[in-house]
Amino acid sequence: MITNKGEGNPQFSNLPRKFNIAIAGCRDNSVHAEINDIAFVPAYKDGNIGFNVLVGGFFSAKRCAAAVPLNAWVDKSDVVDLCEAILIVYRDRGPRANRQKSRLMWLIDELGIELFRACVEQQLGRTLLPAAPKDEIIWDKRDHIGIYAQKQSGLNYVGLHVPVGRLSAADLFDLARIADVYGSGELRLTVEENVIIPNVPDSRLESLIEEPLLERFSIAPAPLMRALVSCTGAKFCNFALIETKSRSVAMIKELEAQLSIPKPVRIHWTGCPNSCAQPQVADIGLMGTKVRKNGKTLEGVDIYMGGTVGKDAHLGTCVQKSIPCEDLKPVLRQLLVDNFGAVPKTSGDIGSLNRQLLLTVDDSETIVPAAKPQTSTVIFARSGKEVACSEDEFILDVADRAGIELDSNCRSGSCGTCKQKLVEGNVAYDGELDALSDIEPGFILACSARAIGQVSIDA
């Protein structure tokens, strides 16, 4: 309906850059329903299976929000019609002036959920039934890695772990061949970047698990690697502030060599605030940023914790900011020990074991970077706030810390959008920035400028 079977549909050509629709067919929320613009979760009403509806979930550099209940239950035959009605209401009434606010949740905020629901009903042409009292999302989240019997007698699905979702063309051809030979020619992809081969007969399982590809795409990976998720990263994405895929795999291998982990820990790496790898729903989420250390600008991360998926899903929060990637491993190691039951592996040497249990690190590694002296001040003239900071902090970070919202898409890849008028004082940059040539005299780039002494900006 939306794409007119892939041929294009002018009726919906004005949707935002992302509009996500998810339909959950099982009891463990495999689709991460709460972070989609529209989500259908299974629920029984009067003995009939259908869907409760959630709306408005999204991640962006500007804001992250979990979907809210529409207080509606629909039969499976009404799913497409309801999607169309919601899309038309959004198309006709959704905000467009600010690209950062061009998502469904902003319209829901503007109208209120009750008025939004009424608009959808008017477009649909009938009254929606109220939501079922409870849905069927009652299981803990599963990753579908391994071999599992299907409900069809004698058939199985085989879940392969693809480390951080990185596939080559040769891998894809090999997966297609395996699906043809051992299954029904079908492959399914998971939100964790893994691959499922369904409809594998019992008689073919033994031969399948002997395939050379399964040495790399394991059916029984180690706990940390099993739950690792990464976005594309700086190697191929212009928005990313850091490299993610290669770095995450290397770091997890080092941690697994040092620690015994009782169960998988979902660690998600995302290269920028756009949150494509969804760090807010991870046990440990890592969001790429730029940090200052010893007078240099380095790749770093902000750390999120407490996100859950499945039953009682909710978003995590930022617990540590601006950790240089080169200092990250001991920080993650401590988090795994303190929060997830990780235990240092023994080496047979008591002294070495004691050192591991204390988690001592080399002098060159610090668990949390030392705080820099706050020798500068940024005055935000319009808000009247004066904020002390170090000369290593970017003014945009100072504003974030003070709760002052500056318009900026820089960390999403649109360099130059953070310009601010400099009222007084001096700022410094690290090297020559191309974006500086495009701004008027008297303006600064808040994402890259550092205050020298006292600085005042018109914000």
pLDDT tens sequence across 392-406: 888 888 888 877 888
334 contacts: CB under 8 Å, gap ≥ 6: 359, 367
Tokens linked to 204: 């073919």
* CA angle 287–258–355, rounded 5-degree value: 110
Using pLDDT thresholds of 50, 70 and 90, give the confidence band for residue 64: confident
pTM over 0.75: no
Q: Does pLDDT of 119 surpass 90?
A: yes
pLDDT tens digits, residue range 435-453? 677 788 888 988 888 899 8
Task: Provide the pLDDT for residue 432.
Answer: 65
- Top pLDDT among 275 and 53 is at 53
Sign of CA dihedral 140, 143, 145, 148: positive
Q: Does pLDDT of 16 surpass 80?
A: no
pLDDT tens digits, residue range 85-108? 999 999 999 887 787 788 899 999
Closest CA to 158 of 137, 178, 139, 177: 178
What distance lies between CA 199 and its chain's CA centroid? Answer: 31
Q: Does pLDDT of 202 surpass 50?
A: yes
Give start and end residues of each alpha helix (H) in 227-327.
Answer: 245-258
**Domains by residue range for the chain, with CATH:** 10-124 (3.30.413.10), 146-221 (3.30.70.3340), 225-358 (3.30.413.10), 376-457 (3.10.20.30)
Most confident of 176-190, 337-351, 444-458: 176-190
Q: Does pLDDT of 354 surpass 50?
A: no
Closest CA to 79 of 128, 117, 114, 36: 128
Task: Provide the pLDDT for residue 411.
Answer: 57
Task: Provide the pLDDT for residue 369.
Answer: 44
Which residues sit opposite 297 in a β-bridge? 292
CA distance 450 to 347: 46
Task: Provide the pLDDT for residue 381.
Answer: 84
Task: Provide the pLDDT for residue 367.
Answer: 41
CA distance 2 to 400: 38
Q: What is the mean pLDDT of the chain?
A: 87
Using pLDDT thresholds of 50, 70 and 90, give the confidence band for residue 32: confident
Q: Does pLDDT of 68 surpass 80?
A: yes
CA distance 450 to 363: 28
3-class DSSP assignment, residue 451: strand
Using pLDDT thresholds of 50, 70 and 90, give the confidence band for residue 361: very low
